[in-house]
Amino acid sequence: MSDAATYTPPKVWNWHKPSGGRFANINRPVSGATHERELPVGRHKLQLYSLATPNGVKVTIMLEELLAAGHEGAEYDAWLVRINEGDQFGSGFVAVNPNSKIPALMDRSGDAPVRVFESGAILLYLAEKFGAFLPTETALRAECLSWLFWQMGSAPYLGGGFGHFYAYAPTKIEYAIDRFAMEAKRQLDVLDRRLAQTEYLAGPDYTLADIAVWPWYGGLVSGLLYEAGEFLQVQDYKNVQRWTKAILDRPAVQRGRKVNRISGELSSQLHERHDAADFDTRTQDKLEAGG
Ligand SMILES: N[C@@H](CCC(=O)N[C@@H](CS)C(=O)NCC(=O)O)C(=O)O
């Protein structure tokens, strides 16, 4: 590990040593599959390959919301992808997402399967497929999509920037933490001002914009993400706090958060989801018993 204060980049960057840090074992400078492995396929038309990170949870919340709204075609199988073990580099996964990141969706309802990757694209695909959580009126739709794309562009500064340097990097670098803490707080202020004007991000109704933004920024202001609540003084963002609590009260959100979760309290984990009944207590009991 180079000393951050004295490091001079060489003329040509080379991948010659592990960088350290929490995800060092899966980071590499090339793409593509590292091993052959087919993906499992369940009985539903929608096959989701994911993990309950903020990006993964967006999609399981969306699917549970669609089901709660009566869209039976949104029934899905959710398969666990353990990214720390390199499952995202299996040939089957790479065929669904050449970028090797969860979440990835395969829609098998038509003659030929349709692959969708990137969580924002998946939310939009599902919203259009079922005609839900995306306003049809021009201005509201534009506002909704603007917040969706805001999330896709902003969260990497929160996760890959602030979260990485504050929580995961092997050394604490003041310059990097300052830079990204500033940006994280700026983003929270953007949301806070918007949510002072309207109940939800796109306007009066809960939409896919809220589903996209909540797992990241709701997690942050709850003090859960990166355990950075005190550091960023998240209690000050009162409107984001109000919105976060309202969304967490939704039963579909509570279900969606559990799917493909492998950490935290056992009662909050549902490693795979193939049926609505999988959320039953009996399933949880089985999990707690190690089944
Ligand atoms: N922009 C992508 C980001 C997806 C992403 O970063 N997924 C992470 C987990 S949150 C992942 O799969 N990482 C595994 C890896 O980088 O190898 C999306 O929104 O879908």
Q: Enumerate domains of the chain plus CATH numbers.
A: 138-254 (1.20.1050.10)
Strand 76-80 and strand 46-50: the pairing is: parallel
**Tokens linked to 93:** 């996964």
Nearest by Cα to 213 from 135, 143, 164, 155: 155
DSSP for 244-289, written as a single string: HHHHHT-HHHHHHHHBT--SS-GGG-BS-BSSGGGGSHHHHHHHHT
Ligand 1 contacts CB of residue 83 (under 6 A): yes
Ligand 1 contacts CB of residue 34 (under 6 A): no
In this predicted structure, what is the pLDDT of residue 26?
81
Nearest by Cα to 226 from 171, 151, 149, 160: 160
In this predicted structure, what is the pLDDT of residue 283?
54
In this predicted structure, what is the pLDDT of residue 291?
46
DSSP letter for 158, please.
I
- The size of the chain, in residues, is 291
Q: How many angstroms separate the Cα of 260 from the Cα of each of 77, 112, 128, 253?
A: 11, 26, 24, 14
CA 70 to chain centre: 24
CA 12 to chain centre: 34
> Whose Cα sits closest to atom 4 in ligand 1?
101
Ligand 1 contacts CB of residue 154 (under 6 A): no
Ligand 1 contacts CB of residue 100 (under 6 A): yes
For residue 131, how far is its CA from the centre of ligand 1 (angstroms)?
26
**Tokens linked to 116:** 């969708």
Ligand 1 contacts CB of residue 151 (under 6 A): no
Around Cβ 100, how many Cβ atoms within 10 Å? 23
Ligand 1 contacts CB of residue 118 (under 6 A): yes
For residue 101, how far is its CA from the centre of ligand 1 (angstroms)?
4
3-class secondary structure, 193: helix
In this predicted structure, what is the pLDDT of residue 25?
72
For residues 161 and 173, is the Cβ–Cβ distance under 8 A? no
Ligand 1 contacts CB of residue 270 (under 6 A): no
> Nearest 5 degrees, angle CA 204-CA 139-CA 74?
65
For residue 163, how far is its CA from the centre of ligand 1 (angstroms)?
14
For residues 65 and 211, is the Cβ–Cβ distance under 8 A? yes
> Relative to the CA of 27, which ligand 1 atom is closest?
17
In this predicted structure, what is the pLDDT of residue 16?
73
Q: Which long-range contacts (CB under 8 A, 24 or more apart) does 272-280 make?
A: 272/77, 272/78, 272/79, 272/80, 273/60, 273/76, 273/77, 273/78, 274/42, 274/43, 274/44, 274/77, 274/78, 276/67, 276/75, 279/255
Ranges of the chain with pLDDT below 70? 1-5, 17-24, 281-291
